[in-house]
Chain A
């Protein structure tokens, strides 16, 4: 039985725009990727590159004046674009769950943990309060929260940041979703807790066959966690492939720049015994209103040519390794050849 598993989620040329008085801006631009059951997909990019918005688009939670302008989102073969509000609601929190960036803000400050968990169960299943509470307690225990019964009766402000994020993760797990979108859920936490939560999430999703999209701006996190990586720049996915392909043989100059500016990639001392200095990508990420025509990375790219004034097509360099660049870097230029 080696037949390729049907992907849990297929996103195809997803485009999300914001209408404004000065015209529409495109925040997510023809984004395509897929995630298989039990697979972890890392979505990497600088602040403002459209990672969260990609997540919210998949969840049908883009607030006006934003809207999904084109593309398709298929969950287990079912097209989600064009679903009614009621159908979306039935899906959210049940088949697709999302964990937000800031654990301090995601839980409602005036509702007890049990209220916020039980309502999530009961929004999707016809079970009694007691049965729902039992599920909530199990979920808290699964994410490693000690004395879950006590925690259930607590208010969010009585828990630490790490605990709150675990509660948010437990809420995401409650209805055993097919897909979890985790939006930098650990950036607000300290490094040890971050590593713990990463590991636990990975294990939980592998075991249950849940597809996981892990959004982060930190390539080091992705290296230890993801099976595949998508690199986003100015609303577009500029490179994607297996974690090894993207991190070891980056083809897009932007990915290369990101790797060079990551401390972990430079931790190896060179021959002289000195750690290599971090190299920052010159320039700034463009704001949505002034994304350059053609390749958006052009003003910051040392490899740019006239050709780059056109939008580069997605080119498959190796099976599964795709980059949008006219002058992809040769594989030998990778960090670890």
Chain B
């Protein structure tokens, strides 16, 4: 187990290193931040001075070497725009995004699994078909359009929920959280529902197909032949088997929820990392973009590790490579 985790951490470092190379080169290729940072009327001397102060006068490899040296000490550089450490800027926004992603995923899982089970148990019923039709809609409607519709209906027409912003937060161990106040919840609900929709559809379909497949298996018929109740056959024998692929997908999708909440965050003016990323890209704030991408990669690696551990815990047939030694 320890060996397994150590091995995975080593892999993670490799991934991070390669990513940093790619990201650095990629970000370097787009635009010249000086054009945006420095007053257009500035003299060539001013420009050169600004470039030198930001380290932009160095060749790419030298800039990268300096970045890598600092990064190994936990310093991902200062934001060109705000002049504060880029990582700090992002971490500050992390709770808002994380909170949004967690609530969205909870909605997707807590609704998706029961709905998928239902549709899988009654594939030909009216309700089962309706659920599946709904999930197809959830798949195909673009997120931004659904977001706008949610605002139109629930914020503008009905006036039930606020259309933008995060609302009040309460601090837990210095971390601001919306979930602890009723008004925070009201602000969270629309963006979370918007973000959840696609994942919800995915989980419904996954659960349904898993259920239908499991129902054909001999072990389900044997469980019935033992005289078990329907609740036990479905809730234990079927669910425990289909949970294995679901956990994997939920884990991987959670990473993408965090990374790509960009659209939802900008529609609902949610002050998370996604919005910061968009702003930083338009302002060519390279250190923030690089730090953001590296942080997201790190999150992915951590989530993947958690998924693998969970997977091994759920499926007795899986032994983690290196865990047996």
Give me the interface of A with B, judged by CB distance under 8 Å.
59, 61, 89-94, 97-98, 100, 102, 105-112, 119-120, 123-124, 155, 157, 168, 171
Contacts and interface: CB of A to CB of B under 8 A. Distances in A.
Nearest to B317: A157
Interface string B205-239: 00000000000011101111111110010001100
Most A CB atoms within 10 A — which of B228, B232, B237? B228
A119 B226 contact: yes
Contact of B314 (A59, A105, A110): A110
B222 to A, nearest CB: 4
B241 interface: yes
Contacts of B315: 110
A178 to B, nearest CB: 14
Nearest to B315: A110
Given A109-B219, A111-B237, A93 B244 contact: no
Among B217, B225, B237, chain A packs the most CB atoms within 10 A around the CB of B225
B142 interface: no
Contacts of B236: 111, 119
B218 A106 contact: yes
Given A100-B221, A119-B232, A155-B317, A110 B244 contact: yes
A100 B218 CA distance: 8
Contacts of A92: 224-227
B237 A108 contact: yes
B174 interface: no
Contacts, number: 75
Contact of B225 (A61, A107, A108, A124): A61
B219 A107 contact: yes
A123 B226 contact: yes
Contacts of B218: 100, 102, 105-106
A109 B317 CA distance: 8
Contacts of B232: 119, 123
Interface of B: 217-219, 221-229, 232, 236-237, 240-241, 244, 314-317
A123 B228 contact: yes
Contacts of A105: 217-219
Nearest to B244: A110
Q: Rank and list the top 7 A-B pairs by shortest CB-CB distance, nearest first.
A: A93-B227, A93-B226, A105-B218, A92-B227, A155-B316, A108-B219, A106-B222
Contacts of A89: 227-229
B228 A157 contact: no
Contact of B222 (A91, A100, A124, A157): A100
Contacts of A93: 225-228
17 contacts: A59-B225, A92-B224, A93-B226, A94-B227, A98-B222, A98-B225, A100-B221, A102-B218, A108-B219, A108-B241, A109-B317, A110-B240, A110-B241, A111-B236, A120-B227, A123-B229, A171-B226
Contact of A90 (B217, B221, B227): B227
Contacts of A61: 221, 224-225
A112 B237 CA distance: 11
A262 B237 CA distance: 40
Contacts of A108: 219, 222-223, 237, 240-241
B92 to A, nearest CB: 42
Contacts of A111: 236-237, 240
Given A89-B227, A119-B226, A123-B232, 20 more contacts: A61-B221, A61-B224, A92-B226, A92-B227, A93-B227, A100-B222, A102-B218, A105-B218, A105-B219, A106-B219, A108-B219, A108-B241, A110-B241, A111-B236, A119-B228, A120-B226, A120-B228, A123-B227, A157-B316, A171-B226
Given A123-B232, A155-B316, A157-B317, A107 B222 contact: yes
B121 to A, nearest CB: 13
A110 B318 CA distance: 10
A61 B218 CA distance: 12
A124 B316 contact: no
B224 A109 contact: no
A157 B240 CA distance: 16
A108 B221 CA distance: 10
A146 B223 CA distance: 25
Given A110-B315, A157-B317, A168 B227 contact: no
Contacts of B237: 108, 111
Nearest to A117: B226
A55 to B, nearest CB: 10
Contacts of B229: 89, 123
A90 B229 CA distance: 9
A303 to B, nearest CB: 39
> Which of A59, A110, A157 has the most C-beta atoms of chain B within 10 angstroms of its own C-beta?
A110
Contacts of A123: 226-229, 232
Nearest to B124: A64
A110 B226 contact: no
A108 B234 CA distance: 12
A61 B215 CA distance: 13
Q: Which of A61, A106, A157 has the most CB of B within 10 A?
A: A106
Contacts of B317: 109-110, 155, 157
Contacts of A110: 240-241, 244, 314-317
A176 B218 CA distance: 23
